């Protein structure tokens, strides 16, 4: 849905408040030194009004360019503070970021309204269906047996409707949590990039070389975080659409696991976490997309390490098994396979979340406030495993922590 964008200019704070009254704005750009009231005072009024408390504000100033004034602007709720003179291209690019966020918000609101309307229509259909069932029950027959059967069918229908509604509510809740999380995930590194870039441009000739290196490292880390998020979203989208190409070749699962263990060694050493590997006798060779399998192992190791307290152990094991896989023609065939288990001593997973932990945009409630994550990694793992005709699941350990297990057929199916 397209939205019209307009610009309103006000000469002072009072005019700005009149212009804001009853308007849905994407962004306010305030000059600090305005007649009548300062931009800081106007910002406080705006953010104390429930109708505009979430309105993003960018301060512009040619006079107040000292660090104290800039800090004061941020404490008044500003998302940015630009000192004049400022290149138009920079101002336009910053405005475009918040305009895009505003349009995304409006589109999301439209989608929510559409879903509410759809739910209301479903409720009407449900009510009509219940009325129809009641009428049909009394009209069909006076036979007690027939009446009993109709009542049973009606109850089943009601139970199915209740189940469907609960699933829809859970899906909406998961989506809402994901949208809130993804907004934060994008906003935080973007703010870091803009802040460090701005200070770097402003004080490039004054800052010591060591501090400049720290600035660029912070910008680089934030950029990597954004890139990882975008890559996960793109990976999941391609996997679910069935457009992902799998390049299967021979590889040894044991070697892939050892490479990953070596990669995580600096972090495990820092947390004093020991990783033990147990490999049963026999070959660990299999035909698979090695890069995709490496992605699964990276995700599972990341979870195990992030959610393990310092000084704990992680145990990795491989053993040969027979795996029954259902192919596209509906036939079940048994294949030689490898079972891999990654066991940690972390926080574990609530029992009622075991069956949903691999759903997209879902995180365990035990870890939402811990090491974090976007709720995409395990869903990506499941999509890749299923594409290899394998199986992935998780179980809590009796002594604490969780064990993630996956089965991969050895041959190319």
Q: What is the 3-state secondary structure (H, E, C) of 303-361?
A: HHHHCCCCCCEEEEEEEEEEEEEECCCCCEEEEEEEEEEEECCCCCCCHHHCCCCCCCC
Residues 106 and 69 in one domain: no
Out of 222, 241, 260, a domain closes at 241
Residues 265 and 226 in one domain: no
- Which range, 114-118, 243-247, 335-339, 358-362, is most confident? 335-339
Residue with tokens 């026999």: 282
Q: What percent of the chain has pLDDT over 70?
A: 73
Instruction: Note whether residue 1 is domain-resident.
Output: no
**Cβ-based neighbour number of residue 204 at 10 Å:** 10
Query: Would the pLDDT of 241 be above 80?
Result: no
Instruction: Note whether residue 379 is domain-resident.
Output: yes
CATH number of the domain where residue 74 is located: 3.40.50.2300
On average, the pLDDT of the chain sits at 79
Instruction: Note whether residue 5 is domain-resident.
Output: no
Residues 282 and 358 in one domain: yes
Instruction: Note whether residue 133 is domain-resident.
Output: yes
Residue 139 or residue 151, greater confidence: 151
pLDDT at 258: 94
Q: How many domains does the chain have?
A: 3
For 187-226, what is each residue's pLDDT tens digit?
A: 666 666 666 666 666 665 666 666 666 766 666 666 666 6
Instruction: Note whether residue 395 is domain-resident.
Output: yes
pLDDT at 252: 93
Q: How far apart are CA 401 and CA 399, in angstroms?
A: 7
Estimate to the nearest angstrom the gap between the alpha carbon of 262 and the chain centroid.
28
Instruction: Note whether residue 326 is domain-resident.
Output: yes
Residues 401 and 272 in one domain: yes
For 59-110, what is each residue's pLDDT tens digit?
A: 888 887 788 888 888 888 788 888 888 788 887 888 888 888 888 887 887 8
pLDDT at 369: 41
Residues 170 and 285 in one domain: no
Nearby residues of 317 by Cβ (< 8 Å), 6 or more positions away:
277, 278, 279, 280, 340, 341, 343
Instruction: Note whether residue 131 is domain-resident.
Output: yes
Its domain, for residue 366, covers 249-409
Q: List the single range of 26-35, 274-283, 310-319 with lowest mean pLDDT.
A: 26-35
For 256-290, what is each residue's pLDDT tens digit?
A: 999 999 999 999 999 999 999 998 888 899 999 99
Q: List the single range of 32-41, 124-133, 194-203, 394-403 with lowest mean pLDDT.
A: 194-203
Per-residue pLDDT, averaged over 114-138, amounts to 80
CATH number of the domain where residue 155 is located: 1.10.287.130
Out of 225, 241, 257, a domain closes at 241
**Cβ-based neighbour number of residue 313 at 10 Å:** 13
Residues 158 and 55 in one domain: no
Note if the pTM is more than 0.85: no
Residues 79 and 120 in one domain: no
Residues 172 and 263 in one domain: no
Residues 70 and 146 in one domain: no
Instruction: Note whether residue 403 is domain-resident.
Output: yes
Residues 99 and 198 in one domain: yes
pLDDT at 122: 83
pLDDT at 357: 87
Distances from the Cα of 98 to the Cα of 18, 93, 109, 224, angstroms: 22, 9, 16, 21
Radius of gyration (Cα) for the chain, nearest Å? Answer: 28
Out of 190, 209, 241, a domain closes at 241
Residue 348 or residue 367, greater confidence: 348
CATH number of the domain where residue 335 is located: 3.30.565.10
Q: How far apart are CA 293 and CA 86, in angstroms?
A: 49
């Amino acid at each position: 849905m397209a939205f019209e964008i307009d610009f309103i200019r006000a000469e002072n704070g009072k005019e700005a408040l009149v212009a804001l009254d009853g308007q849905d704005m994407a962004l306010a750009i305030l000059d600090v030194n305005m007649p009548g009231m300062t931009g800081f005072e106007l910002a406080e009024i705006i953010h104390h009004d429930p109708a505009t408390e979430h309105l993003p504000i960018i301060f512009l100033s040619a006079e107040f360019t000292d660090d104290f004034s800039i800090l004061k602007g941020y404490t008044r709720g500003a998302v940015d503070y630009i000192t004049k003179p400022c290149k138009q291209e920079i101002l336009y690019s910053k405005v475009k970021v918040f305009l895009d966020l505003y349009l995304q918000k409006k589109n999301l609101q439209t989608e929510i309204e559409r879903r509410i309307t759809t739910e209301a229509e479903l409720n009407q259909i449900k009510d009509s269906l219940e009325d129809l069932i009641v009428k049909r029950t009394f009209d069909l027959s006076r036979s007690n047996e027939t009446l009993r059967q109709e009542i049973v069918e009606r109850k089943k229908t009601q139970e199915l409707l209740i189940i469907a509604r609960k699933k829809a509510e859970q899906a909406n809740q998961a989506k809402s949590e994901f949208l809130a999380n993804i907004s934060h995930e994008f906003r935080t590194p973007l703010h870091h990039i803009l802040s460090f870039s701005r200070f770097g441009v402003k004080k490039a000739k004054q800052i010591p070389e060591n501090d400049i290196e720290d600035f660029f490292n912070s910008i680089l880390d934030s950029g990597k975080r954004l890139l990882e998020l975008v890559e996960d979203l793109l990976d999941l989208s391609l996997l679910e659409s069935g457009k992902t190409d799998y390049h299967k070749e021979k590889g040894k699962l044991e070697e892939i696991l050892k490479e990953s263990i070596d990669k995580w060694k600096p972090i495990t050493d820092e947390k004093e976490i020991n990783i033990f590997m147990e490999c049963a006798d026999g070959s660990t060779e299999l035909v698979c997309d090695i890069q995709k399998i490496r992605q699964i192992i990276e995700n599972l190791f990341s979870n195990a390490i992030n959610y393990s307290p310092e000084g704990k152990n992680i145990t990795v094991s491989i053993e040969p098994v027979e795996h029954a896989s259902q192919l596209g023609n509906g036939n079940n065939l048994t294949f030689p396979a490898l079972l891999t288990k990654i066991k940690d001593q972390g926080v574990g997973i609530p029992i009622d979340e075991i069956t949903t932990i691999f759903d997209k945009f879902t995180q365990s409630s035990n870890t939402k406030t811990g090491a974090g994550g976007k709720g995409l990694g395990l869903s990506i793992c499941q999509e890749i495993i299923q594409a290899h005709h394998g199986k992935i699941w998780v179980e809590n350990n009796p002594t604490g922590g969780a064990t993630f297990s996956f089965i991969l057929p050895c041959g190319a199916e």
